[in-house]
Structure formats: C-alpha cells, structure tokens
Amino acid sequence: MATAIFPGSFDPFTAGHEAILRRVLPLFDRVYVAVGVNSDKQYMFSVAERLDIIRRTLADCPTAEAVSYTGMTIDLCHQLGAGAIIRGIRTAKDFEYEQTIAAVNRLQDPSIETLLLLADPEHINISSTLERERLTHPCNCPTT
C-alpha cells in the first residue's frame, strides 16, 4: 500500500494546499494531511480548527485523512508507514527551502522520498501568511 504524508502548519489550509493534495491523491492509496504542531509558533487557528477545516474540505476524498503531529516529520512517516513526503512549491525561494529539508530527511531515512510539486499558476500568489492577513484585516474597499 503506497502511503504519503502532506505535512504543514496549514494555518489556514488554502486553495493551493487543496489543489496540491487533489493532484497527488490518485498516486497513492492513502495520503495523510499532517498538521504540524510547534509550541514555539503562534497560530491563528487551533489544531482542532485546522483539522476540522481540512476534514470538511476533503469530505469527498476517502483516501485522504487529516492528522496532527509533533516532532520530526520523518518520525511520523515511520509511524504511519509512509514512503513519501509531499510538498508544494510556489517560488525559487520555496524550492531552496524544501530542497534543504528534503536533504535532511533523506539523511535520516533514504527510503522515504520527498516529492516537490509546482503550484498551479492560479495558486502561486496564495499563501497561508497572506490568507491570515486577509482574514485579520478585511478590505473595506468600494466595489466597482
């Protein structure tokens, strides 16, 4: 059974995240959307809220499951029997960051592959940071 994890903070889970996930679902028997919890970070949404948003978004995807975790992503792969880590990239900066993380994960366990998927063009400008800004400071601009 081919299993992958799609890790992130998903604060919030965006249309870009959903698009990446839906693209990989046909490639695996099971994909875990793994909500990472870092006690040093401040989140807009609680873990329970993030999991709920993801579960509602993916209600039509029986092979996807939302879980939360702390610690190393590679340890979660071992716990869930995942042989792949899915990551989305929008920019060259994202690529450099993800390449470094993939190399570290590969040193820890060379049998677990990291798959980097390019964001769809319509999602390149979507980020959780910008979504939080939009939610925190809604535009009161006149519409035309």
Q: Is 41 a catalytic residue?
A: yes
The answer to whether residues 57 and 65 touch, using CB atoms and an 8 Å cutoff, is no
The pair of three-digit structure tokens given for residue 120, joined into one six-digit string = 């769809």
Transcribe 83-129 into DSSP letters.
-EEEEEE-SHHHHHHHHHHHHHHHHH-TTSEEEEEEPPGGGTT--HH
Catalytic residue, chosen from 22, 30, 55, 90, is 90
| 3-state class (DSSP) for residue 66 | strand
Is 128 in the active site? yes
Contact 30, 63 (CB under 8 A): yes
Is 9 assigned a catalytic role?
Answer: no
Q: Which of 41, 93, 111, 137 is catalytic?
A: 41
List the catalytic residues: 17, 41, 90, 128
